[in-house]
Amino acid sequence: MASIPDQRNKSSLVLIALAGMILLVILVAYKFLATPDKPPSSTDRPDAAARDEAATPPAESSPGQVIEYGKLESDGDLKNMMDARKKAFDVGEGIDIIARSDETLQIGDNRVSMKELQDQIRLKLGEISEENLGPDGQPLPVDPETYGIHVVRPGDNIWNIHFAFLKDYFKRRGVDLARSADEPDRKGYSSGVGKLLKFSENMVYIYNVKEKDFSQNLNLIEPNSKIVVYKMDQVFQLLEQIDYRYIDQLQFDGDTLWIPAG
């Protein structure tokens, strides 16, 4: 007769253990459902990352969209998007268009695929263009690169285009460059601004939108058929190293720009 109560006690212990396990599973599930992962705030990211995020176009933009140069003023949505991108990079009128590598430019009758232009720039720099493939064999998505575009106008020349961009860059940082800041001194030596402009010829690309190729003659610029392309990350990487107080100490040997420590 003593064995019957013992069997009941064992059954009760099993039921209690099962109930405890079920309660534990419910508590763990509730914790995950009620406490979603908190995304990192922009204040936790470095400035460059925050600028990349700010440069992301608003909702009306989509990969493969066409940016029409002739509608920059008449198309309100396009103008607002371009103003937002310029603000994110803190650039002014020296840049007409901020375009991503997954977009297309329409300049007059000519279309320019930014992806094709990106590939050509990489080849020019000696970089290898690689694509990572997913399990399905399709290319994995990558973050697009950003380019600043100046559409060449009548009377433009490469030196003045660079100087206008540089003048605007420093003005937005509280430094007003004189009109003669790029001219040599009385002894014929190049100013620091002049050296920076000379070096910048290696950092921008003159692209013929009709021939779909880079221009070989920097002094022969045909209006509305050529664009000046700034690789924005490369440009800012250089300019952000320069303290204007020491700009006249810049040294340029024709290939390398030596920047003094601030």
Residue range 123-176, pLDDT digits in tens: 887 766 566 666 777 766 677 899 999 999 888 888 888 888 888 888 888 888
> DSSP H helical segments within 64-182, as ranges?
76-89, 114-124, 158-171
CA neighbours closer than 13 Å in the CB half-sphere of residue 99: 31
pLDDT at position 99: 95
User: pLDDT band for position 70 (50/70/90)?
Assistant: very high
Residue 2 has pLDDT above 50, yes or no: no
Give dist(CA 209, CA 105) in Å, integer: 10
pLDDT band at 76 (very low <50, low <70, confident <90, very high): very high
The residue extents of the domains of the chain are 47-129+142-258
* pLDDT value of position 60: 43
Side chain identity at residue 197, one-letter code = L
More confident residue, 246 or 107: 107
- pLDDT for res 67: 96
Q: What pLDDT is recorded for position 53?
A: 53
CB–CB of 100/144 below 8 Å? yes
